[in-house]
Amino acid sequence: KQEVTQIPAALSVPEGENLVLNCSFTDSAIYNLQWFRQDPGKGLTSLLLIQSSQREQTSGRLNASLDKSSGRSTLYIAASQPGDSATYLCAVRSYNTNAGKSTFGDGTTLTVKP
Amino acid sequence: DTEVTQTPKHLVMGMTNKKSLKCEQHMGHRAMYWYKQKAKKPPELMFVYSYEKLSINESVPSRFSPECPNSSLLNLHLHALQPEDSALYLCASSHNQGLYGAYEQYFGPGTRLTVT
What's the average model confidence in pLDDT over B2-30? 93
B106 close to B6: Cβ distance less than 8 angstroms: no
CB contact under 8 A, A46 and B106: yes
Q: Measured between alpha carbons, how far is A77 from A112 in angstroms, rounded to an integer?
A: 11
pLDDT in tens, B31-87: 999 999 999 999 999 999 989 999 888 889 999 999 999 999 999 999 999 999 999
- Residues with Cβ within 8 Å of residue B115, at least 6 apart in sequence: B12, B13, B14, B15, B81, B82, B83, B84, B85, B86
Q: Measured between alpha carbons, how far is B23 from A95 in angstroms, rounded to an integer?
A: 28
What pLDDT does A99 receive?
A: 62
**Reduced to 3 states, what is the DSSP secondary structure of residue B96?**
coil
What pLDDT does B81 receive?
A: 95
Number of C-beta neighbours around residue B25 at 10 A: 23
Local confidence band at A73 (pLDDT 50, 70, 90 cut-offs): very high
Closest Cα to residue A33, out of A3, A73, A5?
A73
Local confidence band at B101 (pLDDT 50, 70, 90 cut-offs): low
What pLDDT does B58 receive?
A: 87
**Among B21, B34, B100, the residue to mutate for chain A (most A Cβ within 10 A):** B100
| Position B98 pLDDT exceeds 70 | no
Q: Are strands B53-57 and B44-50 parallel, antiparallel or unpaired?
A: antiparallel
What pLDDT does A96 receive?
A: 76
Please tell me the distance in Å from A42's CA to the nearest CA on chain B. 5
Give percent above pLDDT 70 in chain B: 93
